Chain A
Amino acid sequence: MRLHIEQDGRVRQVTVANGRVPGSVDVHVDDTVIACDVRDLGQGRLSLRLTDGSMHDLVVETASPSGHRVVHVEGIRVRAVVSTRVRRGAAAAGAAAGPLRIVAPMPGKVVRVPVRPGDQVDARQPVVVIEAMKMENALSAGRAGVVREVLVQEGMSVEAGRPLVVLE
């Protein structure tokens, strides 16, 4: 199986095949073969044992609806995209390219929209304040840009995933 795995904007090509030992798989990456003794424990949990004996407990989840994979490795959540084809423009897409839609990460109520179309904002500047779980949460763009559109108003209730502000 040939796979393209994108992590942090970097795409790597790997080939996976059954290993010589039953239950093991060989992962071919960057001209090397890594033999993995891997056990599926269900619910996305994997036990991985490498040839040097090193042990790794991991969990691979699929985030819905985006289809992103999230790997838990040593308590860190690593986001990745796995596909069997080369993703168009994936590698070339720089972090700052194209418009950015800021979406509600959770359901809540819009309490303030401190920006207007045309405003220049920096990466940490709040663009929408949402009240959820009794706390006010300021959402920022995570990168600098110019506000192109404001899609919500104060007092509106929003569902998770709803676009709030578009930046370019």
Chain B
Amino acid sequence: MPNAENAERPMKTILIANRGEIAVRIMRACREMGIGTVAIYSDVDREARHVRYADRAFPLVGNAPGDTYLRIDKILEIARRSGADAVHPGYGFLAENEAFAQACVDAGLTFIGPTPGVIARMGSKTAARDSAIAAGAPVVPGTQTPVASGVPDADVQQLADAVGYPLMVKAVAGGGGKGMREVRTAADLLDAVRTARSEALGAFGDAAVYFERRLQRPRHIEIQLLADQHGTVVPFVERECSVQRRHQKVIEESPAPRMDGDLRRRMAEAAASVARTVGYTNAGTIEFLVDAEDRFYFLEMNTRLQVEHPVTEMVTGVDLVHWQIRIARGERLTVSPEQALTPRGHAIECRVYAEDPDQRFMPRPGRITSLTVPGGPGIRDDSGVEAGFEVPIYYDSMISKLVAWGGDREEARRRMLRAIGEYHVGGIPTTLPFFRWMLQQPAFISGELDTTMLDAELERREGQPFLATGPAQDETALLALASSAFLAGRRPTPVDSEASAAPRSGWAAAARQSALRK
């Protein structure tokens, strides 16, 4: 019989304190569960998919994250005004901000995530490390306490020398690869610390960093878990996220290639043990590094839903967002531990960014003029955009997550390539050509992944394009250009309605006028 403290809380309306694809993904779960949704939006997001998808939406006014999606006061005011009884933070923005979680609780709202105390503890990378040690999980050798911004250079150097090189400089408040630098020799240390501090201060408002020994060619493998408010912790089959560019994940999959059942169980048990030690509740992920000898080390815990959660959903059939909401309502977790740890088939996720992979992955925000999204068996596209939407310059440039499921890894890989072939984004470059290249690399096909392989390969390529046309494609392009110019001249409506409104070069205008005369 549930006691008063654990009584189930009614939840009628959830405010989603986020934007883009993750806000849409959470609202989909709400709709499936018969729960109302409230969106928040910045000025440039008024036409965004997450805003139009919501039952109700309220403006934050402004655009910069600091004026909008990071404004606890504005978000709580909207929660009050809209009558929302719960808040889902998504990932990024305020998802791992204990002050926000606390403010929600103080305002009588259910925060869909762990308690503020646990967010604070696991949010400090050094305190998280201590928790892992207390739980008996192995950790990478590193500094015991944060290196605050006031520490003199000589002491910084001494602390780093004690850890040994190569080492990683990481923001204490970090995440998502920001505020992170690799240092190969002592001479490069102070420069790296300065850059990491400035990035960390800008991104998280905290310049404290810490040092960690850099493992040689490790794999990044993480354990998703769910924990209810009644002491049940269920770890899931691992995700491999070793394909990284500058410490940012670009491809994730589940299960990890070359994983044996024994290692899986040991990692799952270590993760569950850390979660129990800190009294974790709701969805979270424990990240590990795994070395060439299959030794694993606790890296950090993400106290929120992860970007890559769909691959876990695809191979276990468990809807993690549904469970986040049910756990927050006080329900008991009834996912079977066996189901959670036994993958059915294989899933791969590609993060589609509005970036030009042939220009060093430069962000290229702009208007999406046309969009065709792949479908068919085993394909899931979690997208935050539609044709006509202008990807804003203010936020992360991820526009979608493309996920492919297959009976085994090779089937999932081929299915992903098939889906990428169907995917068309007009108006802005995306990272899709890069994924098509990456998925055909021998190291990816064989599953011999590590976190350094992609950066090393990019270095070797020295910026040559990921996909180049051959004579056949050049010929097809020529025919397309010729017939499109001809058709444009024959019809009164220009083919490129977007461009006709914009100032055009005299060159193209001359071409059009001349074509019209014919």
Stretch at the interface among B119-127, B281-289, B463-471: B463-471
Q: Which residue of A lies closest to B177 (CB)?
A: A135
B462 is an interface residue with CB less than 8 A from chain A: yes
Known contacts A48-B480, A74-B421; is-contact A64 B485 (Cβ 8 Å): no
Known contacts A61-B369, A62-B496, A134-B396; is-contact A48 B479 (Cβ 8 Å): yes
Known contacts A61-B369, A76-B468, A133-B394; is-contact A36 B511 (Cβ 8 Å): no
User: How many angstroms from the CA of A49 to the CA of B38 in the assembled complex?
Assistant: 47
Min C-beta distance of B485 to chain A, whole Å: 5
A60 is an interface residue with CB less than 8 A from chain B: yes
| A1 lies within 8 A of B518 (CB) | yes
Q: Which residue of B lies closest to A8 (CB)?
A: B474
A25 is an interface residue with CB less than 8 A from chain B: yes
| A124 lies within 8 A of B463 (CB) | yes
Point out the residue from B363, B498, B514 that lies within 8 Å of A84, measured CB to CB.
Answer: B514
B364 is an interface residue with CB less than 8 A from chain A: yes
Q: Which of A16, A57, A108, A123 has the most CB of B within 10 A?
A: A16
Q: Which residues of B contact A3 (CB under 8 A)?
A: 481-482, 485, 511
A81 is an interface residue with CB less than 8 A from chain B: yes
Min C-beta distance of B456 to chain A, whole Å: 15
A45 is an interface residue with CB less than 8 A from chain B: yes
| B364 lies within 8 A of A46 (CB) | no
B424 is an interface residue with CB less than 8 A from chain A: yes
User: How many angstroms from the CA of A75 to the CA of B508 in the assembled complex?
Assistant: 25
Q: Which residues of A contact B396 (CB under 8 A)?
A: 133-134
Q: Which residue of B lies closest to A77 (CB)?
A: B429
| A106 lies within 8 A of B365 (CB) | yes
B135 is an interface residue with CB less than 8 A from chain A: no
User: How many angstroms from the CA of A56 to the CA of B362 in the assembled complex?
Assistant: 29
Known contacts A81-B507, A133-B396; is-contact A48 B476 (Cβ 8 Å): yes
Point out the residue from A57, A83, A124, A136 that lies within 8 Å of B507, measured CB to CB.
Answer: A83
| A60 lies within 8 A of B481 (CB) | yes
| A7 lies within 8 A of B478 (CB) | yes
User: How many angstroms from the CA of A56 to the CA of B473 in the assembled complex?
Assistant: 10
Per-residue CB contact flags for chain B residues 372-400 toward chain A (1 = under 8 Å, else 0) read: 00000000000000010000011111000
Known contacts A75-B420, A134-B202; is-contact A83 B469 (Cβ 8 Å): no
Q: Which of B363, B424, B489, B503 has the most CB of A within 10 A?
A: B363
Min C-beta distance of B492 to chain A, whole Å: 13
Known contacts A16-B482, A78-B477, A80-B481; is-contact A62 B178 (Cβ 8 Å): no
User: How many angstroms from the CA of A12 to the CA of B477 in the assembled complex?
Assistant: 12
Stretch at the interface among A65-73, A92-100, A113-121, A148-156: A65-73
Known contacts A5-B482, A27-B483, A105-B362; is-contact A84 B511 (Cβ 8 Å): yes
Min C-beta distance of A61 to chain B, whole Å: 6
Q: Which residues of A contact B203 (CB under 8 A)?
A: 134
Q: Which residues of A contact B497 (CB under 8 A)?
A: 43
Point out the residue from A16, A83, A142 that lies within 8 Å of B511, measured CB to CB.
Answer: A83
Point out the residue from B178, B363, B429 that lies within 8 Å of A137, measured CB to CB.
Answer: B363
Q: Which residues of A contact B469 (CB under 8 A)?
A: 73, 76, 78
Point out the residue from A71, A84, A123 that lies within 8 Å of B480, measured CB to CB.
Answer: A71
B133 is an interface residue with CB less than 8 A from chain A: no
A63 is an interface residue with CB less than 8 A from chain B: yes
User: How many angstroms from the CA of A143 to the CA of B496 in the assembled complex?
Assistant: 32
Per-residue CB contact flags for chain A residues 6-20 toward chain B (1 = under 8 Å, else 0) read: 011000101010000
Known contacts A7-B478, A106-B362, A137-B362; is-contact A1 B515 (Cβ 8 Å): yes
Min C-beta distance of A129 to chain B, whole Å: 10
| B424 lies within 8 A of A72 (CB) | yes
| B495 lies within 8 A of A60 (CB) | yes
A91 is an interface residue with CB less than 8 A from chain B: no
List, sorted by A's number, 14 A–B pairs whose CB atoms are closer than 8 Å.
A1-B489, A5-B482, A44-B484, A45-B370, A46-B484, A48-B476, A61-B496, A62-B508, A75-B423, A76-B433, A83-B508, A137-B362, A139-B362, A140-B360
Given contacts A61-B498, A66-B505, 10 further A-B contacts (CB under 8 A): A3-B481, A7-B474, A14-B482, A60-B480, A60-B481, A61-B426, A67-B509, A80-B477, A105-B364, A134-B178
Closest 9 CB pairs of A and B: A64-B502, A62-B499, A67-B505, A67-B508, A16-B486, A62-B496, A84-B514, A60-B484, A58-B480
